[in-house]
Amino acid sequence: MNTAIRHVWIAIVCLFVLIFGALSYIQFFAVKDLNANPLNTRQLYKNFDLARGALLVDGTPIAESVASDDQFDYQRVYHDPKLYAHLTGFYSLTYGANHLEGVMNDELNGQSDSQFYNRMVNLLTGQSTEGASVELTIDPALQKTAYNLIPDGQQGTIIVSEPKTGKILAMVSKPSYDTNLLAVHSGKIASKNMADILETNGLSPNINPAINNLISPGSTFKILDLVAGLESGKYDLDSVYDNPTSITLPGTSTKVNNFDQGICANQNRAKLEFIVAQSCNTPFVAMSEAVGQDALRDVTERFGFGQQLEIPQRVTPSQFPSDLTPDQLGLSSIGQFDVKTTPLQMNMVAMGIANDGVIMKPNLIKRVTAPDLSVLEEPKPEEFSTATTKKVANQVTELMRGPLKGGTAYTADIPGLDIAAKTGTAQLGDGTKRVNSWITGFAPADDPEVAVTIVIEKTDYETGHNLTSPNLKKMLEAVFNK
């Protein structure tokens, strides 16, 4: 009997050894995997009990954690949430963190590499880790002006940046939403609010339209045609080029016309000055044919198409399609077909032309400050790319003055301010008459302080036209009369 009892004991010990094995696996070897499991909300909950750093604009918090008396120690609160929703993103128990709340999460939580020393000190002194605050480059007055320039119910984006530094001074999109609605701790309320938010057309809390929305750039793309044309040596400012009212795309019977309400028809042959000012289409189809798609694609890539970029939010790369047939190239040259850009991409085009061909990396972060006010990070202006030569950039600047002087953007003109800009109107191609209305430019043209891009999406031609050039004027007035 005792032999059997000893065997029973051995069996029990074996069972416990199995348990020890399983526990060692779970609590030692698989810890990383389990902690990273998407179903695991513990890290998030842990963070909700931390003093998370604030997001600041001009020293004033737009997102901060305030003491809370519910099951968590802190509640994230957003000030002027609609103004900043697409920048801050949200910090939600239910939906996680996104946009700056997401990409700057380590800094805000005090877990970034630059806070390593502070963490070690806290570990030894037993203090709880506090997050760093992140100050944005945004100018709150400009941000507010830009927000008010887009009427409620209208889908649109306005970006104001500094061509010489890459700093983003304003980045606004409508429709917007109240980020506080998603920051509530109750999952039930948060998901109801999320459902309400998603009912608004053209609004998704996961998308910042300024950097994630890929849309047809229309005639603003002609700036890139000009760069390619002037670089090729086949075009210059003094020569006169064919400007037919209509051109048949090679290999097809599709006709591309100059804009029927414009005055392009007044000159059958014209200088680039006239062509750009009136945004005639047909000479650009010919120009793209003359320089070839490879040269044009090369120019787009130098300006940022297809490139990875973080500001530090991740920017969706803009697209210039490959392997174009001649007729597709013709359509692409006027910013149609499958050419898709983000609003920020067209702002970068203006920045590059403004800054003598050098694009400074767009950036939203001014500095990261530790709780003890020591500066942890302060991004210096950084070159993104040399997009073209100074000479070509200056020639294009000269041509972009045209639209303001009696051209397509004459309503943006401000006496005494030297402005360079290019308008655009892109057909949505969805069978409706709706268009995306664009303007991208900079001022003062010879010593640029700001580059401004305005897009009004999915609207009729008239509304879009009235919300781009006149708003560029108002935006620039706000910048220079402040």
Partner 1 sequence: MSETPELETAPIPRRNTELVLLILALAVAVGANYLVSLSNTDGFDEGFITQGAVLAGMALVMHIVLRIWAKYADPIILPCVVALNGIGIAMIHRLDLANNDDAATRQLLWTGLAMAAAIATLWLVRDHRILRKAPYTFLVISALLLLLPLVPGLGKVINGARIWIFIGPLSFQPGELAKITLALFFAGYLSTHRDLILLAGRKIGPLQLPRARDLGPMIVAWLLSIGVLVMQSDLGSSILFFGLFMVMIYVATGRISWIIIGLVMVVVAGFFAAQFMSHVALRLNSWLHAFDPSVYDQQYGGSRQIVQGLFGLSNGGLFGTGLGNGRPDFVPLANSDMIIAALGEELGLIGLVAIILLFVILISRGIRAALGSRDAFGKLLAAGLSFTIGLQCFVLMGGVTLLIPLTGLTTPFMSAGGSSLLSNWIIVALLLLVSHNSRRPALTGPLNERDMAAAGPDISAKAKAREEEDARRRAKKAQAKVATPPRKGDTA
- Give the catalytic positions in this structure: 219
Report the distance separating Cα 112 and Cα 365, nearest Å: 15
Considering the complex, what minimum distance in angstroms separates the CB of residue 67 from partner 1?
13
Considering the complex, what minimum distance in angstroms separates the CB of residue 52 from partner 1?
18
User: Could you give the C-alpha distances from 358 to 17, 72, 166, 267, 389, in angstroms and in order?
Assistant: 66, 48, 10, 34, 8
Give the per-residue contact string, 14-43, with partner 1 (x = CB under 8 A; - = no). -xx-xxx-xxx-xxx-xx--xx-xxxxxx-
Q: Nearer Cβ to partner 1, position 31 or 240? A: 31
Which of 6, 119, 269, 390 forms a contact with partner 1 (CB under 8 A)?
6
For partner 1, how many residues bind (rule: CB under 8 A)?
Answer: 34
- Per CB under 8 A, which region of 13-21, 114-122, 131-139, 216-224 contacts partner 1? 13-21
User: Could you give the C-alpha distances from 64 to 57, 101, 105, in angstroms and in order?
Assistant: 12, 11, 13
Considering the complex, what minimum distance in angstroms separates the CB of residue 1 from partner 1?
6
* Amino acid of residue 351: M
Query: Tokens 């802190």 sit at which residue?
Result: 74
Q: Does 124 bind partner 1 (CB under 8 A)?
A: no
Report the distance separating Cα 114 and Cα 229, nearest Å: 46
Q: Nearer Cβ to partner 1, position 13 or 240? A: 13
* Nearest CA-CA partner of 166 in 379, 16, 467: 379
Phi, psi of 188 (to 5 degrees): -65, -50
User: Could you give the C-alpha distances from 467 to 75, 157, 402, 460, 461, in angstroms and in order?
Assistant: 38, 11, 20, 11, 10
310 sits in which H/E element:
strand 309-310
Bridge partner residues of 443 (DSSP): 450
Considering the complex, what minimum distance in angstroms separates the CB of residue 192 from partner 1?
18
Which of 3, 253, 308, 481 forms a contact with partner 1 (CB under 8 A)?
3
The dihedral built from the CA positions of residue 479, 343, 455 and 226, taken in this order, carries a sign that is positive
Considering the complex, what minimum distance in angstroms separates the CB of residue 93 from partner 1?
12
Q: Does 119 bind partner 1 (CB under 8 A)?
A: no
Q: Does 9 bind partner 1 (CB under 8 A)?
A: yes
Q: Does 13 bind partner 1 (CB under 8 A)?
A: yes
H/E/C letters for each residue in 87-124?
HHCCEECCCEECHHHHHCHHHHHCCCHHHHHHHHHHHH
* Amino acid of residue 393: A
Q: Nearer Cβ to partner 1, position 27 or 127? A: 27
Considering the complex, what minimum distance in angstroms separates the CB of residue 19 from partner 1?
5
Q: Nearer Cβ to partner 1, position 41 or 129? A: 41
- Of 185-224, which residues contact partner 1 (CB under 8 A)? none
Q: Does 253 bind partner 1 (CB under 8 A)?
A: no
Q: Does 12 bind partner 1 (CB under 8 A)?
A: yes
What residues line the site for partner 1 (CB under 8 A)? Answer: 1-9, 12-13, 15-16, 18-20, 22-24, 26-28, 30-31, 34-35, 37-42, 45-46
